[in-house]
Amino acid sequence: MKKQLIVLLTAVFTGLAPLQAAPVKIAAALPDIGSIASYIGGDKVEVFSIGKNNSNPHAVEVLPSYMIKVSRAAIYLKVGLALDQWSDSIIDGSRNSKLLTVDCSNGIVPLQKPTGKVDASMGDIHPDGNPHYWLDPANGAIIASNVVAALKKADPANGPYYDKNYERFREESGKRIADWKSRLAKVSGQKVITYHSSWIYFTTAFNLAIAGTVEPLPGIPPTAKHLAELVAIIKRDGISILLQESYFPDAAPKFLARQTGVKIFKFSPSCADVKPDSYFGHFEEIVAQIAGR
Amino acid sequence: MFRTRIVLIIAIAVLCSVVCCGDLRAGVVNPDISVIGQLIYKYHDDKAATNARKPTLDLGETELVFDSYLNPYAKGTFVFSVGDEGLGTEEAYIDVVKGLPDGLGLRGGKYRIGFGKLNPVHPHAYPFVVAPRVMGAMLPGEDGFNDIGTRASYFLPMPWASDISADVLKGAVFHPDETNAAASWVAHWNNSLTLGEATPLDLGVSATQGTNNVQWRTKTAVYGADIKTKIPFSSLTNLTLQGEYFYNNSSVVVDTTTGDTSHMGRQGFYAFADLRFKQRWNVGLIYDQYNPLENKNLTNSAIKGFVGYSLLEETTLLRLTWERFKPENSPVVHTVMFQVLFSMGPHKAHQF
């Protein structure tokens, strides 16, 4: 009896007792990546996002509370491609030696990767390529594969569970992409205008062509001359879709709409939250609005 | 002097280019390098100072920042400033960010002291051109409270985000005219809460004590409390409210033959509101008042209005500040400053 008690106490104090394991805490730089992590991790994870869907992912102010939340996390999911350099400040400030940091752009084929010398005369350009890769739904599976690898390192006991959810994600993703493509077939091949260069992955995925951006260069506000050129392009090419990120000012898109009749579709480039269905739900909302215009 | 400054800047640029050539050599990794320059146009009507009612143009201080991981556990940061007085080491410190027990951080070197909210921030990150006058009147140091020392900080296991830090400093900043050293200390406790969905609220208290006269061992102690919040109205518009209160209690030798001392307690505060709108604009007001060192029974006050525009994040920033400064026993001084801030290199995230 005494021996059994010693074994039980030893097990409890060394964490070997058959108690319910605490969820793996995951910090995601953006809600899209967090949503995918929630899908893969299910009830074995607890996910929170640093970036919000209504704020510019290029410029997130580092709150002390972020560092302390990340100090209690097991995994940090970065966007990478130099979008979330603020993540590095949060990770360093968290003083979390055990934190597993994952760059979710691993395996992504970046678009608009500049060649030759890159400097600020080209605007706020990213030397490693356009970082808004999560807006191609096919890249969701690549992000998911990075999440699975991280989860299997942090929580190997539940590896088969994460693998199973990953397969489910891929299957659902494939079905949904086919559905979205068929619904957007009527606009396939059309030219569109975007505000910032966030939408290149989305337009490439659904065979839309970007004829111009409201910003003359990434991060640079539109000038009157540039807007006049866009008016000419929209009229010349009969463009009917303008994709605007929700955190940019309305004045320039509204001017273009008044001058040309182009329809403004205002979306956040990120999903609303980290719930498992939010990543797909975000595309569903975008597709529904464009297809039903 | 101007020529000396240009030579220094060129020398550092050459050094940077040599560092950048390290790409070609195995085992050499480049640090992040950024340079922040500024032009300041100033006009004031202070007849007691030079250039009253004459517009002046000044280069201000040029700041060079190098930072990088030193090894898997520690980061190094160097901040040099180049101004009329030549090249100075504003900061040079090592931060141990990993490898210590969770929640514990260590810093060693020369750095801006984490007393309150504004002092640790580099002036280029302020929403206005210069720091409120109360900072210089209450804290030790001519250009901010900056000293050589060691800091330990720890995340307290609270339900909210709570960080406590303690520094042991060389203390020379408390007695700049003496060669003998006497150590000083600083403590800071910051608490971060989130109101509603996305309104951060930081509350902190700070304290420091150092020797202002090594021979007579007289002390200066400063106590502070700070508060900051940012209220979001939309994705493009938010209002930052920030304030700090200071109480400075100093013992001063009044008779150097007997060593008789007198105690002087002075207080002061600043408060500002900064409205950011249309992505690139900010406008605000800052008020500060304090008892000056010369006479604790007087109260000086200043009110500033400021407006700023950033073309591309922080690479090109324009700021205009108007100030009405009212020393209690002197005429009012009006000052207008226009600053062009330009920077190159990686844009580091700003801490709230």
Q: Is residue B11 part of a domain?
A: yes
B235 lies in the same domain as B288: yes
Q: Is the pLDDT of residue B18 over 60?
A: no
pLDDT band at B17 (very low <50, low <70, confident <90, very high): very low
B14 lies in the same domain as B40: no
Residue A43: other Cβ atoms inside 10 A: 8
Q: Is the pLDDT of residue B21 over 70?
A: no
Asked if B293 reaches chain A (Cβ–Cβ under 8 Å), the answer is: no
The per-residue pLDDT for B256 is: 82
Q: Is residue B207 part of a domain?
A: yes
Per-residue pLDDT reduced to its tens digit, B84-93: 888 999 999 9
B22 lies in the same domain as B40: no
Task: Measure B62 CA to nearest chain A CA, in Å.
Answer: 19
What's the CA gap between A123 and A268, in Å, rounded?
21
Contact yes or no for B103 and A95 at CB 8 A: yes
CATH classification (class only), A186-291: alpha beta
**Domains: count for chain B:** 2
User: What does pLDDT average to over chain B?
Assistant: 89
Q: Is the pLDDT of residue B220 over 90?
A: yes
Asked if A63 reaches chain B (Cβ–Cβ under 8 Å), the answer is: yes
Alpha helices for B148-281 (secondary structure H): none
- Percent residues over pLDDT 70 in chain B: 90
Asked if A123 reaches chain B (Cβ–Cβ under 8 Å), the answer is: yes
Q: What residue ranges in B72-143 does DSSP mark as E strands?
A: 74-83, 86-96, 104-112
The per-residue pLDDT for A66 is: 92
B19 lies in the same domain as B158: no
Q: Is the pLDDT of residue B351 over 80?
A: no
Torsion from C-alpha of A190, A192, A197, A203, nearest 10 degrees? -30
What's the CA gap between B135 and B141, in Å, rounded?
10
Q: Is residue B314 part of a domain?
A: yes
Query: Minimal Cα distance from B344: which residue of A?
Result: A120
Tokens 């409270």 locate to B145
Q: Is residue B98 part of a domain?
A: yes
Three-class DSSP labels, B49-84? CCCCCCCEEECCCEEEEEEEEEECCEEEEEEEEEEC
The per-residue pLDDT for B176 is: 85
Domain of residue B10 covers 1-30
The per-residue pLDDT for A19 is: 52
The per-residue pLDDT for B25 is: 44
Mean pLDDT (whole number) for B330-345:
94
Contact yes or no for B312 and A247 at CB 8 A: no
Q: Is residue B350 part of a domain?
A: no
Q: Is residue B352 part of a domain?
A: no
The per-residue pLDDT for A16 is: 46
From B56-70, B107-121, B126-140, B305-319, the region with the lowest mean pLDDT: B305-319
Per-residue pLDDT reduced to its tens digit, A70-126: 999 999 999 999 899 999 999 999 999 999 999 999 999 999 998 888 888 888 888
Asked if B50 reaches chain A (Cβ–Cβ under 8 Å), the answer is: no
Token pair for residue A17? Answer: 């007792």
B142 lies in the same domain as B84: yes
Contact yes or no for A92 and B311 at CB 8 A: no
Asked if A55 reaches chain B (Cβ–Cβ under 8 Å), the answer is: yes
Residues of A in contact with B95 (CB under 8 A): 92
Contact yes or no for B349 and A123 at CB 8 A: no
B26 lies in the same domain as B150: no
Please state the separation of Cα B160 from the chain's center in Å: 26
Query: Minimal Cα distance from A246: which residue of B?
Result: B235
A2-108+124-179: CATH topology:
Rossmann fold (3.40.50)
B280 lies in the same domain as B322: yes
CATH 3.40.50.1980 residue ranges for chain A? 2-108+124-179, 186-291
B83 lies in the same domain as B168: yes
Q: Kindly give the parts of chain A with pLDDT less than 70.
A: 1-20, 293
Contact at 8 Å (CB) between B188 and B164?
yes
B18 lies in the same domain as B111: no
CATH of the domain at B190: 2.40.160.10
- The residue among A48, A50, A52, A68 with the most chain B CBs within 10 A of its CB, best to mutate, is A68
The per-residue pLDDT for A3 is: 53
Mean pLDDT (whole number) for B195-221:
93
pTM, full prediction: 0.87
> How many residues comprise chain B?
352
Contact yes or no for A92 and B97 at CB 8 A: yes
Contact yes or no for B98 and A64 at CB 8 A: no
Asked if A71 reaches chain B (Cβ–Cβ under 8 Å), the answer is: yes
B8 lies in the same domain as B125: no
> How many residues comprise chain A?
293
**Window 166-225 of A, Cβ < 8 Å to B:** 219-221
Contact yes or no for B311 and A220 at CB 8 A: yes
B232 lies in the same domain as B253: yes
Q: Is the pLDDT of residue B259 over 60?
A: yes
Q: Is the pLDDT of residue B110 over 70?
A: yes
Per-residue pLDDT reduced to its tens digit, B180-195: 889 999 999 999 998 8
